[in-house]
Amino acid sequence: MSLIDALPSPKFHAQRWHSNTVLLCLSAFMLAASWLLSPVSVAPNRIVAGESYGLVAAIGWPGGLLVTLLFLAIGGLAIAPSRTHYYAQLGIVTLALLLMPFGLMVAGHWLIAADLPQARLGIGAAYWTVLFLLMLCLVELRLRLGLSRLWTTLLLGIVVGAWLVCASQWLENLALVQEFQARDQQFYRALVQHIALVSTAVSVSVVAGLILAMLMRRYRRLQKVSFALLNFLQTIPSLALFGLLLAPLAWLAANVPLLAEMGVSGIGTTPALIALIAYSLLPMVRNTYIALEEVSPDTLEAAKAMGMRASQRFWQVRFPLALPILLEGVRITTVQAIGLTAVAALIGAGGLGTFIFQGLGQAAMDMVLLGALPILVLALIVDASLGALADVLRPGGH
């Protein structure tokens, strides 16, 4: 054997890069949307269609460079991800979300002339696309870092609060803000109506769902019948259900004076509440039934051995242990009701859906957004806050 053969051969280990494909793709899509689509448009008034402007025309080369660097940083840190890189990406995403309204302020200052008081700054496709992709980045980073939903709720609250402050103070040229200022009292009234409808429907469904779930546990034959009926109600389209309720409720209001005095009619709040409760019962009953059934029999047996009565075992042991899953049902029910309540505006129940359908009828997308965006924000806040509460109430939760 030669000397060369006796020497140890060097071993080359190929370095493997476990890049985060999701964040890489999202950063690439955000870059493409920023430069290929229009972030804003400017219209001389509410009637005339607006003219679209690109990224450089809207915020200048310095702004375009900043946007590019932020998105490149998200993608660059995703090539060799680590926990430190994920936290850095979370900071960059949060910074980008906070800077977005300032981009609108700069665009309004540059593109809208002072001698055009009726001019309106519209939000373009690039802006909405980037906002959606940034939210997806936030979801991915939350999962990677294992952040609780409470921290996500606080982060969303900070971002939404900053946006509202900017909109109320420095974005008077934004078309969405002008639509709000023209009908602010109507907006607040619709918001209160929307929240009232959702709160009433969810409250009734929670109580009815708990009672029905307890009866289904006691009477097993009731289980199949109840779930079959509730599943059937879910298959009926919301508009069809409103139509089915119109005739019988109108007949009851015409023939029962007491119901007419209570405000029952074929249109308005009554059919909206009945439909919302009907749609809310299935997720509420299902989650409540599963939550009560999943409690460990050993835990209940230990409570019984300690001398607890049946009612004590239920309220002091079974119900607290089932509460986190029950809250998940409340979360799903509430988010679903927030969206469905928008459709109730078609039958005169009020709510934020009024602006959506008025905007569609007038081909005014900013009015549509005036109704749609608060619904989206309400759904996100409720989803995050109830989810965080459920996490806290779980055994060992924080």
73-94 confidence digits (pLDDT tens): 999 999 988 999 999 999 999 9
Least confident range from 267-276, 285-294, 389-398: namely 389-398
pTM of the prediction? Answer: 0.84
Q: Alpha-carbon distance 128 to 40, whole Å?
A: 10
CB 353 within 8 A of CB 346: yes
Instruction: Tokens 């200052």: give the residue.
Output: 109
Per-residue model confidence as pLDDT tens digits over 345-372? 988 888 999 999 999 888 788 899 999 9
Helix H or strand E encompassing 40:
strand 40-43
- Please, which residues bridge with residue 122 across strands? 41
Please write the tens of the pLDDT for every residue from 89-141.
999 999 999 999 999 999 988 888 777 777 889 999 999 999 999 999 999 99
What gap in Å lies between CA 247 and CA 255, rounded to an integer? Answer: 12
Domain residue spans of the chain = 21-147, 184-393
pLDDT band at 322 (very low <50, low <70, confident <90, very high): confident
The residues that bridge with 41 in the sheet, in sequence order, are 52, 122
Which among 114, 120, 105 has a CA at the least distance from the CA of 178? 120
Domain 184-393: homologous superfamily in CATH: MetI-like (1.10.3720.10)
Summary mean pLDDT of the chain: 87
In the block, residue with structure tokens 């430069």: 35
